[in-house]
Structure formats: structure tokens, C-alpha cells
């Protein structure tokens, strides 16, 4: 279901929830409202109108946010690990692919004539492994602080989210691209998703829990939102 506020299209998804939830999604600022099942469209529209200035400010932020240029996997191309910039160095060798960080270089070793897709695949797998090493101690730390227990965690490419949580199974998913961002950004997302095990929605209770456990979370969110987004077509 959808309606328009001037030139802004608003998608409405009705769910078994008690309150309205408004969100603006990257990269283009798509507006979505999750609404209770029995709420009529006029009530939802009035709610959206009261939030119009906030919607426009969020869309402007997304419009102004930098985008990475497409990765070409060439020598001296910039790549990031935990927020630090490295210059790519390609090495051809008839052996299993490897990635090594040395000084300010990211050394990508591949078989001769490796394709663009193969280079991307090897680097993506390496980023996943960095997260698989770093996330477990963060989970162990914050599970104790927040008082929850995660079922399983998964690392994967995600098109529109930095992380997600399934309260039923208690599983969380972390976006592979977080290995490129400063470590505080990953820790913020871990705390955010663990907090969803106590409160499913982004309401006042959720915000109060985040404030209690990580008072500086807004700074980390702002940092994450200020960094360039991956150059890709995000799907919803």
C-alpha cells in the first residue's frame, strides 16, 4: 500500500504491532511506515504529515552522503579495514589466493589472469573472516552487560541494513561491509542488535536501553552514517 505527500512516496506495511514506526532508507531516501493491522490510511497519512520535516531532513542527509566509487581492484586503489585506508597491491602467483595487510598496503595475491569477480570474491571472503574473529568477543562482552544470549550470528552482504536480529531464534546478522568501518561502528551495531532481543521496536524503551548500555551510541551512529556508502544498487 502506498500514498504520496507531494512528491514523496510513502510505502505502508501493516503488521501485528501496536505503534506506528517511520523509517527513511538509503540510498535514495525511500519512506516506509510500519502500521498496526487495523489502522486506517487517513490516520497513517496524518502521522506522516506531522513527520514531514523530519522525513525531508533524513532524505537530504542521504542525498548528501558520499558514495564509494566502484572498486576496480587495481594497484594503488584505496581499500579500508577497520576505518583505516590501505593501498591495494596485486601479486600474481600460481597458488591459493591470499590477502595480507602490511604497513599501509593490502596485498592481494591471486592466480595469473584472475577475473574482476574473483578478486571481489576473495576480498569479500577475507572481510567476512575479519568479522568472524572480532564479533565473538564483542558478543561475549555485551551479552553480559545487556543480559541476553545470542543463538547464532551470521556475517553476510546486506543491501539495506548494517545488521538484523531475529528475536524468535535470537540470531543476529552482521553486514560484511562493517569490517571496512571503524571498530566503534561495529560495536554499536552489535549493541543495537542485542538490544532488540529485549525490545523489538525502535521506541522509547529501546532508546532508553541503548542510553543505559552505551551512552555514546548516537556518536557512533553519526560516524557510521557519515562514512561513504558502498557503490551498489540497494534493494528493498
Asked if pLDDT for residue 13 goes beyond 80, the answer is yes
**pLDDT tier at 65, thresholds 50, 70, 90:** low
Asked if residue 220 lies in contact with residue 163, where contact means CB atoms within 8 angstroms, the answer is no
Asked if pLDDT for residue 228 goes beyond 90, the answer is no
Asked if pLDDT for residue 234 goes beyond 60, the answer is no
What's the CATH fold of domain 78-226?
Zincin-like (3.30.2010)
Burial class (CB in 10 A: 0-12, 13-18, 19+), 114: middle
Number of neighbours of residue 43 by Cβ within 10 angstroms? 12
Q: What is the predicted pLDDT for the residue at 83? A: 92
Spatial separation of the C-alpha atoms in residues 143 and 221, rounded to whole Å = 20
Higher pLDDT, 41 or 161: 41
Domain boundaries, the chain: 2-64, 78-226
Q: What is the pLDDT of residues 189-218, one digit of tens each?
A: 999 999 999 998 888 999 999 999 999 999
Asked if pLDDT for residue 31 goes beyond 90, the answer is yes
Among the residue ranges 32-46, 129-143, 159-173, 185-199, the one predicted with the least confidence is 159-173
- Helix, strand, coil % in the chain, rounded to nearest 5: 40, 25, 35
Asked if residue 228 lies in contact with residue 182, where contact means CB atoms within 8 angstroms, the answer is no
Q: What is the predicted pLDDT for the residue at 235? A: 32
Q: Which long-range contacts (CB under 8 A, 24 or more apart) does 119-127 make?
A: 119/73, 120/71, 120/73, 122/97, 123/73, 123/79, 123/99, 124/157, 124/176, 126/99, 127/81, 127/176, 127/177, 127/179, 127/180
Strand ranges inside the chain, DSSP E: 2-5, 8-15, 21-25, 30-36, 78-81, 84-92, 98-102, 105-110, 153-156, 163-166, 171-175
Asked if pLDDT for residue 151 goes beyond 70, the answer is yes
What is the rounded average pLDDT of the residues 165-176?
92
What is the rounded average pLDDT of the residues 17-36?
86
Asked if pLDDT for residue 233 goes beyond 50, the answer is no
pTM: 0.71
Q: What is the pLDDT of residues 76-132, one digit of tens each?
A: 999 999 999 999 999 999 999 999 999 999 999 999 989 999 999 999 999 999 999
What is the rounded average pLDDT of the residues 152-172?
89
Give me the percent of the chain exceeding a pLDDT of 90. 71
Asked if pLDDT for residue 226 goes beyond 70, the answer is yes
Q: What is the predicted pLDDT for the residue at 66? A: 52
Spatial separation of the C-alpha atoms in residues 171 and 89, rounded to whole Å = 37
Amino acid at each position: 500500500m502506498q500514498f504520496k505527500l507531494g512528491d514523496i512516496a510513502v510505502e505502508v506495511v501493516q503488521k501485528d504491532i501496536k505503534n506506528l514506526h517511520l523509517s527513511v532508507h538509503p540510498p535514495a531516501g525511500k519512506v516506509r511506515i510500519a502500521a498496526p493491522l487495523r489502522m486506517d490510511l487517513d490516520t497513517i497519512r496524518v502521522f506522516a504529515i506531522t513527520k514531514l520535516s523530519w522525513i525531508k531532513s533524513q532524505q537530504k542527509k542521504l542525498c548528501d552522503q558520499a558514495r564509494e566509487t566502484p572498486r576496480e581492484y587495481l594497484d594503488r586503489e584505496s581499500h579500508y579495514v577497520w576505518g583505516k585506508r590501505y593501498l591495494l597491491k596485486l601479486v600474481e602467483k600460481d597458488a591459493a589466493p591470499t590477502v595480507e595487510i602490511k604497513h599501509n598496503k593490502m596485498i592481494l595475491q591471486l592466480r595469473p589472469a584472475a577475473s574482476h569477480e574473483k578478486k571481489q570474491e576473495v576480498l569479500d571472503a577475507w572481510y567476512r573472516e575479519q568479522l568472524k574473529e572480532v564479533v565473538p568477543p564483542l558478543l561475549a562482552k555485551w551479552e553480559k552487560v545487556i543480559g541476553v544470549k545470542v543463538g547464532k550470528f551470521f556475517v553476510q552482504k546486506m543491501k539495506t541494513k548494517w545488521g538484523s536480529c531475529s528475536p524468535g531464534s535470537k540470531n543476529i546478522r552482521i553486514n560484511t561491509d562493517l569490517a571496512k568501518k571503524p571498530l566503534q561502528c561495529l560495536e554499536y551495531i552489535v549493541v543495537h542488535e542485542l538490544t532488540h532481543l529485549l525490545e523489538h521496536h525502535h521506541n522509547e524503551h529501546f532508546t532508553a536501553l541503548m542510553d543505559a548500555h552505551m551512552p555514546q551510541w548516537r556518536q557512533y551512529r553519526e560516524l557510521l552514517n557519515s562514512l561513504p556508502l558502498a557503490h551498489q544498487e540497494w534493494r528493498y
